[in-house]
Amino acid sequence: PPPLPAFPPAGGGAAPLSPSLLSSPLPTAPAAAARLCSGAGGEAEAAGGDGAMLRHLARKLRASGPVTVAEYMREALTNPGQGYYTRRGGVGESGDFITSPEISQVFGELIGIWYISEWMAMGKPNTFQLVELGPGRGTLTEDILRVFKQLASVLSKCDVSVHLVEVSPKLSEIQAVMLTGGKVQPNPEDEFAYMKGISKTGIPIFWYRDIQDVPPGYSFYLAHEFFDALPIHKFQRTEKGWREVLVDIDPEVPDQLRFVLSPSRTPATQNFIQPEETRDHVEVCPEAGVIVQRLASRIEKDGGAALVADYGHDGTKTDTFRGFRNHKLHNVLSAPGTADLTADVDFSYLRKMAQGKTATLGPIKQREFLKNMGIDLRLQVLLQNSGDTATREQLLHSYDMLMNPEKMGDCFNFFALLPHHRLVHPGKKDKPESKSPLPPVAGFNELLLK
Ligand code: SAH
């Protein structure tokens, strides 16, 4: 057969990107195996897997040229047939990375208390939806629902329902087993949900593929290690102006991928780079922006709050795109579909995308947030109640994982969207003395549960 046209076409194609352009060192996954923030330095694990996704991508790249990093990431993670989350799921000790709720039950319990504290501060509305984006194995929801059950007397007059936004069929199955014991109804006719069931604690649970399918109404949103999994665009400043980083097939090595630079500006370079940008390399996650806009609009209209927890920065970092497989760093371009791909969340971008529809709080470091939420007291209670040394050691070890600045304490952040009236009395400007002060928002301040 005639040789397939190689990209770049002679003269005017994409320029290969020298590794030095993406200069920050690859991060290393610590022995403890959480996906920590970028910049720790270290070696990436080599390729593997059955290659089905790579062959699919290679065909596509040969036929129509390089794709954006966002498109590559979307294919690798959520392609309906071969995507990483679709097939493997990844989360947990036996998976590729471990997350805070999988490390300690205390994490989810304190988040459950955060929602109750906000529900109380907002005047105890008689119904709310808990909406979780990307619930993984369902552990966080399970821990939150346990708190709701323990505080049933407080919530007794409140009608609570759970709404999970999950694209992965494999993970939604795991969530169903965890939360309902597997008793779920697929494709319920009366709902936009693709599955529904009842939690072991008696709360109705619904599953959706998209936040837009979740019914409107007073809602508490939760996104833990969700935004970091959404596709990013990458941009590089050059002498000729901004160029987008693309993924291409390497003409020298069969079925190997490489980064190249777009030969000219792309629609994304025009839309996503701020004129005042000072960095030389920028990552933008438009999908995260769209979701935050939706959350902010929904909270503005129907009330509630959103809590976002993830590793990230406030618009300062550059190259944070990385892969994880079997708890080790993995080259992002090798064996796509077999490794988790992730990038730090840019909280300054999320704040901007809320467009003033809600107030925002944070980002605040995980160790400060959990400390404010009373993690030390909770640890003491659990230590006192545990008889055996192994459990006590496990409790102390997981506390250290969550709180130690060198582990997850510093690089994970909490960020919240709240209705403006939650932070400032509507009439405050005119009559500053007229109302009692609003209760502080827990986590971002010390928890004061009355
Ligand atoms: N919150 C969990 C899991 C984090 S992993 C924890 O902390 O343990 C990321 C989760 O987001 C997975 O459940 C994955 O399937 C889901 N996910 C990834 N992309 C998604 C998308 N575009 N829409 C909905 N869910 C998505």
226, 324: one domain = yes
In a domain, 24, yes or no: no
Average pLDDT of 60-65?
A: 93
The first and second tokens of residue 5, run together, are 């046209």
325, 392: one domain = yes
Residue nearest to atom 21 of ligand 1 (CA): 167
Q: Supply the pLDDT for residue 39.
A: 56
Q: Which of 158, 144, 157, 302 is closest to 218 using CA atoms?
A: 302
369, 240: one domain = no
325: confidence class by pLDDT, cuts 50, 70, 90: very high
In ligand 1, the atom with minimum distance to the C-alpha of 165 is: 24
Q: Supply the pLDDT for residue 95.
A: 79
297, 359: one domain = yes
177/173 Cα distance (integer angstroms): 6
In a domain, 36, yes or no: no
The torsion defined by the Cα of 204, 209, 212 and 214, in degrees rounded to 10, comes to: 0
Q: Which of 341, 282, 260 is closest to 67 using CA atoms?
A: 260
In a domain, 192, yes or no: no
The first and second tokens of residue 45, run together, are 């694990």
Cα-to-centroid distance, 350 and ligand 1 (Å):
18
Query: Do the Cβ atoms of 375 and 447 come closer than 8 Å?
Result: no
381 has a pLDDT exceeding 90: yes
In ligand 1, the atom with minimum distance to the C-alpha of 102 is: 8
Based on its alpha-carbon atoms, the radius of gyration of the chain, rounded to whole angstroms, reads 23
Residue nearest to atom 13 of ligand 1 (CA): 136
Cα-to-centroid distance, 359 and ligand 1 (Å):
25
301, 412: one domain = yes
In a domain, 428, yes or no: no
Cα-to-centroid distance, 141 and ligand 1 (Å):
13
pLDDT > 90: percent of the chain: 76
Average pLDDT of 70-76?
A: 96
Give the type of residue at 385: N
In a domain, 5, yes or no: no
72, 152: one domain = no
Assess whether the previous peptide bond of 8 is cis (omega < 30° from 0).
yes
Average pLDDT, the chain: 88
218, 332: one domain = yes
The enclosing H or E element of 422 equals: helix 420-423
Q: Supply the pLDDT for residue 387.
A: 85
In a domain, 429, yes or no: no
398, 303: one domain = yes
In ligand 1, the atom with minimum distance to the C-alpha of 85 is: 15
Residues with CB under 6 A from ligand 1: 78, 85, 91, 99, 101-102, 134-136, 140, 165-168, 171, 224-226, 229-230
Q: Supply the pLDDT for residue 17.
A: 53
* Total Cβ atoms within 10 A of residue 27: 19
Q: Supply the pLDDT for residue 34.
A: 79
Q: Supply the pLDDT for residue 210.
A: 96
Q: Supply the pLDDT for residue 426.
A: 74
Residue nearest to atom 6 of ligand 1 (CA): 136
Main-chain phi, psi angles of 445, to 5 degrees: -135, 175
Q: Given ligand 1 and candidates 166, 170, 228, which is best to mutate, with the most ligand atoms within 8 Å of its CB?
A: 166
Average pLDDT of 373-389?
A: 94
Residue nearest to atom 14 of ligand 1 (CA): 134
User: Which residue did the predictor score with more confidence, 432 or 123?
Assistant: 123
In ligand 1, the atom with minimum distance to the C-alpha of 89 is: 15
Cα-to-centroid distance, 198 and ligand 1 (Å):
21
262, 344: one domain = no
Which range marks the domain in which residue 70 is found? 51-80+233-272
Angle between helices 105-121 and 375-385 (to 10 degrees): 130
Residue nearest to atom 11 of ligand 1 (CA): 134
In a domain, 34, yes or no: no
Cα-to-centroid distance, 300 and ligand 1 (Å):
25
Give the type of residue at 121: A
The torsion defined by the Cα of 142, 105, 448 and 435, in degrees rounded to 10, comes to: -30
Q: Counting every residue, how long is the chain?
A: 450
Average pLDDT of 245-264?
A: 93
Give the pairing of strands 127-133 and 219-224. parallel
Residue with tokens 């496990």: 394
20 has a pLDDT exceeding 50: no
Q: pLDDT per residue over 344-372, tens digit each?
A: 999 999 999 999 999 999 999 999 999 99
Angle between helices 389-403 and 105-121 (to 10 degrees): 60
In ligand 1, the atom with minimum distance to the C-alpha of 223 is: 1
Cα-to-centroid distance, 166 and ligand 1 (Å):
6
* 3-class state of residue 429 by DSSP: coil
386, 266: one domain = no
Main-chain phi, psi angles of 422, to 5 degrees: -75, -25
Q: Which of 11, 96, 56 is closest to 324 using CA atoms?
A: 96
244, 217: one domain = no
Average pLDDT of 271-275?
A: 92
User: Which residue did the predictor score with more confidence, 26 or 327?
Assistant: 327
356/274 Cα distance (integer angstroms): 18
Cα-to-centroid distance, 408 and ligand 1 (Å):
19
The enclosing H or E element of 296 equals: helix 286-302
Give the type of residue at 43: E
Number of domains in the chain: 2
189: confidence class by pLDDT, cuts 50, 70, 90: confident
3 has a pLDDT exceeding 60: no
Find the CATH number of the domain harbouring 150. Answer: 3.40.50.12710
Average pLDDT of 204-222?
A: 97
Cα-to-centroid distance, 89 and ligand 1 (Å):
9
In a domain, 365, yes or no: yes
Q: pLDDT per residue over 110-165, tens digit each?
A: 999 999 999 999 999 999 999 999 999 999 999 999 999 999 999 999 999 999 99
317/352 Cα distance (integer angstroms): 17
336, 400: one domain = yes
Average pLDDT of 389-414?
A: 96
